[in-house]
Chains A and B, each alone.
Chain A
Amino acid sequence: DTEVTQTPKHLVMGMTNKKSLKCEQHMGHRAMYWYKQKAKKPPELMFVYSYEKLSINESVPSRFSPECPNSSLLNLHLHALQPEDSALYLCASSRVPGLYSGNTIYFGEGSWLTVV
């Protein structure tokens, strides 16, 4: 089973709202990721968690706040977003973190976020 589950699938939020995106995997993967994808563009890495610790933050604005409560769950807390933050947010996971581990990265179906 190579399933990464994301909820919600669609989210519309106002610029003053606080919301969260959730991601879950039960493959025993110890690396989890958040990517952002705009229309007709490739996914862009936002955060990497390795063994439940934040290992990479790609200079993401603080209105995006990631959280990894345990090895199966990854959240992305959203607050005071801007309309340009509207995008597809993809969660992903891979087996073993490492410097150059070369492990397959599996993507969830994504959460479509619209900021109004």
Chain B
Amino acid sequence: GENVEQHPSTLSVQEGDSAVIKCTYSDSASNYFPWYKQELGKRPQLIIDIRSNVGEKKDQRIAVTLNKTAKHFSLHITETQPEDSAVYFCAAMEYGNKLVFGAGTILRVKS
């Protein structure tokens, strides 16, 4: 089955700086890669996603890149703000609509 690795496990940045979280996946047939943000005590919230026919997608301060050959994808957050502090999960969708998550990254934005 699919295996998703996520790095780093924790990331501290200064407000206004950029943050990058990286994930690798194992199943070359996976074709959908969402990113979720989860604040303490709340549900995972989809923030951006990318499909395998696209190499990059951007939504305001958030962007995701996908390298199918290397089987890795990354989340980029620019001009970070304190409200960006949360746990971020990458995921890959494998056969049967199964979403497999990475272990998560705790992002702390210091003001």
Residue ranges of A at the interface with B (Cβ–Cβ < 8 Å): 31, 33, 40-45, 48, 50, 55-56, 90, 94, 97-110
Contacts and interface: CB of A to CB of B under 8 A. Distances in A.
A48 B43 contact: no
B34 A90 contact: no
Contacts, number: 66
Given A43-B44, A107-B44, A109-B42, A100 B101 contact: no
Contact of A100 (B31, B45, B46, B100): B31
Interface of B: 29-32, 34, 36, 42-46, 49, 51-52, 89, 93-104
Given A31-B97, A45-B99, A100 B49 contact: no
Contact of A42 (B31, B51, B102): B102
A59 to B, nearest CB: 12
A9 to B, nearest CB: 11
Nearest to B53: A102
B43 A99 contact: no
A3 to B, nearest CB: 11
B97 A42 contact: no
Contacts of A108: 43
A100 B89 contact: no
Contact of B89 (A42, A104, A109, A110): A42
Q: Is the interface of A mostly helix, strand, loop or mixed?
A: loop
Contact of B98 (A42, A48, A104, A106): A48
Nearest to A42: B101
Contacts of A94: 97
Given A42-B101, A42-B104, A103-B32, 15 more contacts: A43-B101, A44-B101, A48-B96, A50-B97, A56-B97, A90-B43, A99-B96, A100-B30, A100-B94, A102-B31, A102-B52, A104-B46, A105-B34, A106-B46, A108-B43
Q: Which of B31, B44, B49, B101 has the most CB of A within 10 A?
A: B44
Contacts of A110: 43
A55 to B, nearest CB: 6
B104 A107 contact: no
Nearest 9 A/B pairs, CB to CB: A102-B32, A42-B101, A107-B43, A109-B43, A102-B31, A100-B31, A107-B44, A42-B89, A110-B43
